[in-house]
Amino acid sequence: MKGVSDNGNRVEPWRVLVVEFEPTHYKTDLWNVISGSEHIDLLVIHTQTRNWDRDGGHDYQRFPRQYYAGLVLSGYGVVGVVRSTACVMKSIIARMPDVVLVCGYSHAQAVLGFLTAFVLRRRFVIYVDEFNNGRPPGKFSFLKWVVRESLRKFIFSYGKAVFVCGQKGVESAVTAGCAPEKIHDFPYTVDLERILRDAPEDIPEKCLSDVRRSEVILFFSGRMIVRKGLPSLLSALSTAEVGKEWVLWIEGAGPELENYIALARQYNIAGKCRFLGFCQYDLHSWLIRSADIVIVPSLQDNWGIVVDEGLQLGKVVVSSDATGSGYDRVVDKVNGYIFPAGDASALAKLLAMLVENGRRVSTEDHSARFNTKVVRPIDNLKTLLEVVRA
């Protein structure tokens, strides 16, 4: 058999083509590790330069050094979608990969990606963080549901595997109707060594001053949209009975930014809040390294990479129970803390205790990462190799 030695081991690397969304720092970590394997010949097609949705909030201008072959397409507007879809189809036809790994299944680029693979009798794998099993919202709800269920039935029947993020992702795939043997935990993850060595050129002076004053530093990172739960965090801090000095670093951009700045003023905590806007990956690394307590108060979040980053760095991590990564990684009061999503009162009590013991807790709890379910990019590589070799 071509590409296989006498002892059954494949000689040639497996050709894997990835149909991906926008480039991100954590996905760069993943594809770098996968492309570094002698067993994988990787091409990544990013179908959009950035998330063009109104609440996208991402404005990545810099990325970790990229070691994989890849294309970044605009994907903006109708013309951009058509062009990126055509590029995906042409690339699959020209490359004839052994496996097509498609991120998502609701965009035109993704759908035409796995359909092209199917027609060419190429194996395909679908990668989502979590399946939404509720009725689609808005107009034409029933029609959307029919289309969604039809696509899922096709994927679950003919796809080689389904990759999801964590236990919630696995549970959602089973509920959606996927056979358990096809489901693989393939969570978003980061290269810890890269986070530790990232060195931004420009650091906000207020943040440097906060570090010098040795105040307890709280850290929030997320888009300025309702489901990320920042209002409940601001409300909690306005009522928490805290004796020690603290500051809150708020990283992120989005449509609700001005409303949240006004809310901080209304709660009389604006002087303790640093609204930093969207930060590039290297500054993000410095911020989370320098913080004491990482808070993820999402009302709904399929994953949340900040939980994983905080735990691997040995930080005190506080997560809502509606955050997928918190559900998967945090054992309450063992390696972090869980509170009911949207419950500002419960969060206030928890933060009052943690801030009071802030620096002592974050130092003593540095071993948290050793009590955590840590999944590294290399672990996802092993999962991918198991699937392509099967």
For the stretch 239-261, pLDDT in tens is 998 777 899 999 999 999 999 99
Q: How far apart are alpha carbons 308 and 330 in whole angstroms?
A: 9
The verdict on 176 and 50 lying in the same domain is yes
Percent of the chain with pLDDT over 70: 93
Q: Tell whether 257 and 326 lie within a shared domain.
A: yes
Tokens of 191: 């290269």
Q: Say yes or no: 202 and 339 in one domain.
A: yes
Cβ-count burial 164-183 (b if 16+ within 10 Å, e if not): bbbebbbbbbeebebeeebb
What is residue 366's predicted lDDT score, i.e. its pLDDT? 46
Q: Are residues 279 and 168 in the same domain?
A: no
* Whole-model pTM over 0.85: yes
CATH of the domain at 46: 3.40.50.2000
The answer to whether position 7 is within a domain reads no
* pLDDT confidence tier of residue 58, bands split at 50, 70 and 90: confident
Residues 242 and 358 both lie in one domain: yes
- Dmax over CA atoms of the chain, in Å, equals 73
Can you give the pLDDT at residue 364? 44
Reported as a single tens digit per residue, the pLDDT across 80-114 is: 999 999 999 999 999 999 999 999 999 999 999 99
Closest by alpha carbon to 42, among 390, 385, 386?
Answer: 385
When pLDDT is averaged across residues 327-335 and rounded to a whole number, the result is 91
Going by pLDDT thresholds of 50, 70 and 90, the confidence category of residue 138 is: confident
Which residues 6+ apart lie within 8 Å of 260 measured at CB? 224, 230, 231, 234, 250, 275
Q: How confident is the model at residue 274 (pLDDT cuts 50, 70, 90)?
A: very high
Spatial separation of the C-alpha atoms in residues 100 and 118, rounded to whole Å: 10
Name the residue among 289, 372, 375, 290 with its Cα closest to residue 332: 372
Question: Rounded mean pLDDT of 164-173?
Answer: 96
Q: What's the pLDDT at 137?
A: 85
pLDDT of residue 371: 54
What is the structure's pLDDT at 10?
A: 59
Mean pLDDT rounded to a whole number for the chain: 91
pLDDT of residue 8: 55
- What is the total count of domains within the chain? 2
Write out the residue range of the structural domain in which residue 294 sits.
194-371
